[in-house]
Amino acid sequence: MSKKIPRCQVLPLPDDVASFQVDGLERTQWHFDAKYFRPFFFPFNGPSSSSLTRMGHPGAPNHDHHLSVWFAHVSVNGFNFWSNTTKARIRQKNWLSYEDGDEEAVMATSVGWYDDERRELMAQELVAALRPIKNGEHYLEVQSTFRPKLEKITLGKTNFGFLAVRVAKTLAVYWGGGELSNSEGQKGEKMIFGQSARWVDYSGPVAVGTGPDRKAAIEGITYHDHPSNPGYPVHWHVREDGWMGASFCMLEPFEIRREKPLILRYLLHAHSGEVSAARSDQVHDAFGQSKGFRVSKSSKPHREFETFRI
């Protein structure tokens, strides 16, 4: 008898793409072709299979560095890894593991941050896990371990970095009538920008289906900070034009030393309907109580204990 096919799979595709799928239905892709300035996730599909994120800014053509869901930072030892106007690049060096399973699909990769002269300043060990939950919803958990190639690396004070999310045009407050909210009961850019919060949510209408049967539904992304991250709860950079990011260095610079790598964990929850603060708090508490991944000598990622369940 043949083995059972896992529900959750990471499938390598042509052109340096890895597809995260649940029951054969794609939820996101990881793009790491060297033609891009940095790797990214796109699309990031919601329960209806419509993407909740987009490539680029709807009203600013010079924002082509906005790549759906991506890692970047505006100042790493003074080098700008945020803009597409510099020579600094973030490159995947190799993939470490693709792990399929019934409860989650996990990818581990080795990424390098290279300055204007192609010197590697910092290595990033990225583990991404996609986990399906009820009603077609899912979590994308991302854990990054940043290791300086020098004795130390200074991350400059900035609103821009590390994990960024550009939501779909229809979800944005300005473009589509969506809504921004956070764990502290605040709503809108003016109330949330620069404030600390455990999570921030962007929800709004998405198109479901095609042709005459096409209709609108409400879906969204809840972006969670992890209690183990330095500076928790993080201060947030949000915009009504469809942007949210946990600003790790908003208040002050941060130094990473070779003997003490920086580990950051975040969770993106793709949900149906309007955000429920009570449910988001429950998800956050479960995420906060969980421990992350370690990558073994065999390059396979393993959780330090059982995955959280909500």
Instruction: With a cut of 60, say whether residue 1 has pLDDT above it.
Output: no
Q: Does 105 have pLDDT greater than 80?
A: yes
pLDDT above 70 covers what percent of the chain? 95
How many other C-beta atoms are found inside a 10 Å radius of the C-beta of residue 246? 27
CA atoms of 139 and 156, how far apart (whole Å) = 30
What is the C-alpha separation between 59 and 175, in angstroms, rounded? 9
> What is the pLDDT, as a whole number, of residue 297?
61
Mean pLDDT of 31-52: 96
Rg (the chain; Cα; Å): 18
pLDDT higher than threshold 80 for residue 55: yes
How many beta carbons lie within 10 A of that of residue 115, not counting itself? Answer: 19
Sheet holding 179-182, edge to edge: 89-99, 105-114, 120-132, 138-148, 262-272, 215-225, 199-208, 179-182
Q: What is the pLDDT of residues 215-226, one digit of tens each?
A: 889 999 999 999
H/E stretch holding 283: helix 277-289
Contact criterion met (CB below 8 Å) for 277 and 203: no
Residue 310 has pLDDT above 60, yes or no: no
Q: What is the amino acid identity at position 9?
A: Q
Region of poorest pLDDT, from 30-44, 113-127, 209-223, 239-253: 209-223
Both tokens assigned to 11: 């499938």
For residue 234 the two structure tokens come to 């993080």
pLDDT, mean of residues 170-191? 96
User: For 197, how many CA atoms within 13 A lie in the half-sphere containing its CB?
Assistant: 28
Whole-angstrom distance, CA of residue 44 vs CA of residue 147: 28
Are the C-beta atoms of residues 197 and 180 closer than 8 Å to each other?
Answer: no
- Name the one residue in this structure whose structure tokens are 């002269």: 117
Longest dimension (CA), the chain: 61
**Is-contact 234 196, C-beta < 8 A?**
yes
300 pLDDT higher than 90:
no
User: Region 274-292: what's the mean pLDDT?
Assistant: 95
295 pLDDT above the threshold of 90: no
Neighbours of 186 (CB within 10 A): 16
Q: Compare 63 and 150 and report the one with higher pLDDT.
A: 150
Q: What are the φ/ψ torsions at residue 136 (nearest 5 degrees)?
A: 75, 5
Q: Tokens 């004070």 map to which residue? A: 157
Residue 9, strand partner residues? 21
Q: What pLDDT sits at residue 305?
A: 43
Q: Is the pLDDT of residue 89 over 50?
A: yes
pTM over 0.85: yes
- Work out the average pLDDT over 118-145: 96
Q: Is the pLDDT of residue 164 over 60?
A: yes
Q: Is 134 strand, coil or helix?
A: helix
Kindly state the average pLDDT of the residues 243-264: 97
Q: pLDDT value at position 208?
A: 83
Over residues 154-174, mean pLDDT: 96
pLDDT over 80 (residue 191): yes
29-to-184, 189, 197, 205, 274 alpha-carbon distances in Å? 32, 29, 28, 22, 25
> Looking at the predicted structure, is the pLDDT value of residue 151 above 80?
yes
Backbone CA torsion sign across 116, 118, 119, 121: positive
Average pLDDT over residues 141-154: 96
Write down the pLDDT at residue 268: 98
Q: What's the mean pLDDT in 125-153?
A: 96
Min mean pLDDT across 31-40, 82-91, 203-212, 289-298 is at 289-298
Per-residue pLDDT of 11-40, as tens digits, reads: 999 999 999 999 999 999 999 999 999 999
